[in-house]
Chain A
Amino acid sequence: MLWHALTLQLGYNATLVTLGAMLLGVAAGVTGTFLFLRKRALVSDAISHATLPGVGMAFIIMVALGGDGRSLIGLMLGSAASAWIGLLCIGALTRRTRLAEDAAIGAVLSVFFGIGIVFLTFIQTMSEGRQAGLEGFLLGSTAGMLYSDAMIIAVGGALVLAAVIAFRRPLSAVAFDPEFAASSGLNVPRLDLIMMGLVMAITVVGLKIVGLILIVALLIIPAVTARFWSERVTGVLWVAGVVGGVAGYVGAALSAIAPALPTGPVIVLVLFAMFALSLLFAPARGVLAAVLKHLSFQKRVHIRQGLLALAQGQPIYEKLTLRLLQRAGFARADGVATTDGKARAAKALRDETRWQMARSREEFALAATFYDGLTEIEGVLTRDQINELDRLIGAPRGVPV
């Protein structure tokens, strides 16, 4: 079954939905990266929650106009309208009042969601509302999807992705450095508006599959995951697109074989698995790498400081320093330097003196800015320059270099 789902052999509708979810995932990953780099990730949470009153209102209006109220296109239009109003409210609250953006996001999110719930409970009392299935929009559901709905999702996903690709260059320029982008003639406020428009489009298309509570994960988690793998904007965009696409594909396929499960949570957990692996094991920024790097860095600092203390016959105050020196074979338990330690200590002190001399001479001013206590002087100055420093210091003989 699982294999059949992953290889798109579960029927036409399921295939359409799975492909749509994948395209949407790619679009969400890329757009989410722009949001993330602009430090506005949670605006998307407010946008998605703000769709609910629109869904309810659209249903009520369509019923009032004589329809059955379940047209996906109509509900999507309604959700887009109320999400837009929510976005305007956030803008108004942050610009016109002293409230910060996080408060505005939280207020819009909860109030719009509350209003949406009021509509939903009202709809449940309508005769047409009993089988409306609007609750499916909360957590996403692909069960019993009509061919037309599947088509809308596939086409919608493709359109959003096309729009993201069309705007990728100016949007990444703004995300990377808004001030530079503005100075090079890009209209930053308009591009921000386009970015929000894309976020809205993704939310609206994803509403049926992922659900409005969790669609925010599709926008945030791929970008955050990708950040662990690349330091460059293009790299992050690519990885985020792939992560979002994989999650959309696998999540929608899995839910096709387990129709009882809401789709949204499945997609989110696929995303989270990829995130957790990245957080722990990414080579440069992962937790494991960071812990190892910090420990080795701490060791370098303590050994360096310990060697300098040994060289000057000072007592070593910190136990950790002494332990590290001991383990490296530079000192005995009582704090007395070993032969090896003495040589290393002399070298450390000698380099420190060279740095000091470098700082006090104008011709070495540039090199001196590299000083941080740990950088090896040989990595900054040439052999000849170091000899020149030694001459200035008036080097005593016999100190190992």
Chain B
Amino acid sequence: MMGEEFVALSLTPILIGTLAAIACALPGNFLLLRRQALIGDAISHVVLPGIVVAFLITGVVAAVPMMLGAAGAAVVAVVMIEAIRRLGKIEPGAAMGVTFTAMFAGGVLLLEQSDTSTVHLDVEHALFGNLESLIWLDATGWSSLWDRDALAYLPVELPRLLAVLIVVALFTWIYWRPLKLSTFDEGFAQSMGIRTGPLGFALVIVAALAAVAAFDAVGSIIVIAMFICPPAAARLMTNSLGAQVAWSVLFATLSAVLGYVFAGYGPIWLGANNAVSAAGMIAAVSGVILAITAVAGPCRSRSGAPAEG
């Protein structure tokens, strides 16, 4: 499994899955602690209408307009949720429910009404992604990693997700202190002059960016699962924010790698011939990790946290 075939068929999907998982897990940590875990759910639903609208306007399936369309949809969704919550005095969960179902429904209908038969754009792709197809056919083995010509034919999702992950990581690193402070104690942060409103909005936009890039490659199930499961499992492992983020990166990586391997090889080990959905399996593995930490994580309960020092 580690030979030429691995590099050509499995290496790039695994890397893409891992990058997507980490890019979503990083902002997911803060969303989790802010009790906004479901924002990830909402964003991943509204990416579809964003992409469809971008396609209808430009007429092509290209990365940049679709990213812009999806990011725009995320902004519309966040503004709409806030507007419903504040103006209608509706609790945030219900406001989210109204917003993302309506936008998702609009996206599906637009998609069904428009002629997308020539392009690869459909609801199932949006939900499950297409991780298995992101292969690197020009690779002939590990040496291809140093081969300029082969590298030129890497799936475009790989460098794109790498770029997005760098942006997400930089945002997390640069704004670590304000993010930490405003998540823990918003009033105090404001008294220090931190503009918590715009910062919270920026966090959601960064999460949306991660969701959009990941969505294109791996579909919305992974996006939701990676926003929530690795950070949640990580929270049960530690009582330090830095360590929590590190654990969440580890769990995201584990989910992506194991999920891809199980989806591709699991059925074969069990005697079946065909692989199952990698996206679904990655979400399932992240769920198993969360279940294990919920049963055995050292910091799983509020009261039973061990004293450190």
Task: Name A's B-contacting residues (CB within 8 A).
Answer: 36, 39-42, 44-45, 92-93, 96-100, 102-103, 105-107, 109-118, 120-122, 125, 135, 138-139, 213-214, 216-217, 220-221, 223-224, 227-228, 260-262, 264-266, 268-269, 271-272, 275, 279, 285, 287, 290
Contacts and interface: CB of A to CB of B under 8 A. Distances in A.
B109 interface: yes
A106 B108 CA distance: 22
A203 to B, nearest CB: 14
Contacts of A112: 287
B235 A99 contact: yes
The 9 closest A-B pairs by CB, nearest first: A114-B283, A111-B287, A117-B280, A217-B101, A265-B105, A268-B105, A110-B225, A220-B97, A272-B102
A106 B277 contact: no
Given A116-B280, A138-B127, A220-B98, A264 B287 contact: no
Contacts of A138: 123-124, 127
Nearest to B266: A118
Interface in B111-146: 112, 123-124, 127-128
Interface string B278-309: 01111110110010001001011110000000
Contacts of B221: 110, 113-114, 117
B171 interface: no
14 contacts: A36-B91, A41-B94, A98-B236, A103-B228, A114-B286, A125-B273, A217-B105, A220-B94, A221-B97, A262-B108, A264-B108, A275-B102, A279-B84, A287-B87
A145 B221 CA distance: 28
Given A99-B236, A113-B224, A220-B98, 15 more contacts: A97-B301, A99-B294, A102-B37, A107-B287, A110-B225, A111-B290, A114-B277, A118-B277, A120-B280, A221-B101, A221-B102, A224-B90, A261-B112, A265-B104, A285-B88
A213 B104 contact: yes
Nearest to A44: B97
B187 interface: no
B94 to A, nearest CB: 4
A125 to B, nearest CB: 4
B109 A269 contact: yes
Given A117-B221, A214-B104, A107 B228 contact: yes
B97 A290 contact: no
Given A118-B277, A121-B280, A41 B294 contact: no
B59 to A, nearest CB: 22
B274 interface: yes
Contacts of A272: 98, 101-102, 105-106
A122 B105 contact: no
A224 B93 contact: no
A102 B88 contact: no
B232 interface: yes
A262 B106 CA distance: 11
Contacts of A290: 87
A114 B104 CA distance: 18
A261 B109 CA distance: 7
A12 B254 CA distance: 53
Contacts of A271: 102
Contacts of B87: 279, 287, 290
B36 interface: yes
Given A111-B283, A111-B290, A221-B98, A118 B276 contact: yes
Contacts, number: 206
- Chain A binding surface, main DSSP class: helix
Contacts of A110: 41, 221, 224-225, 228-229, 283, 286-287
B109 A113 contact: no
B279 A114 contact: yes
B177 interface: no
A118 B235 contact: no
B232 A118 contact: no
Nearest to A267: B105
B159 interface: no
Given A106-B40, A220-B94, A269 B106 contact: yes
Contacts of B96: 42
Contact of A117 (B37, B127, B229): B127
A122 B276 contact: yes
A269 B225 contact: no
A264 B272 CA distance: 34
B42 to A, nearest CB: 10
B89 A114 contact: no
Contacts of B105: 214, 217, 264-266, 268-269, 272
B267 interface: yes
Contact of A265 (B88, B109, B302): B109
B204 to A, nearest CB: 15
Nearest to A227: B90
B148 interface: no
Contacts of A269: 102, 105-106, 109
B61 interface: no
A261 B108 CA distance: 9
B274 A125 contact: yes
Contacts of A120: 277, 280
B32 interface: yes
A105 B280 contact: no
B225 A114 contact: yes
Contacts of A100: 35, 37
Contacts of B290: 107, 111
B232 to A, nearest CB: 5
Most buried by A among B40, B90, B280: B280
B101 A102 contact: no
A139 B106 CA distance: 12
Contacts of A93: 294
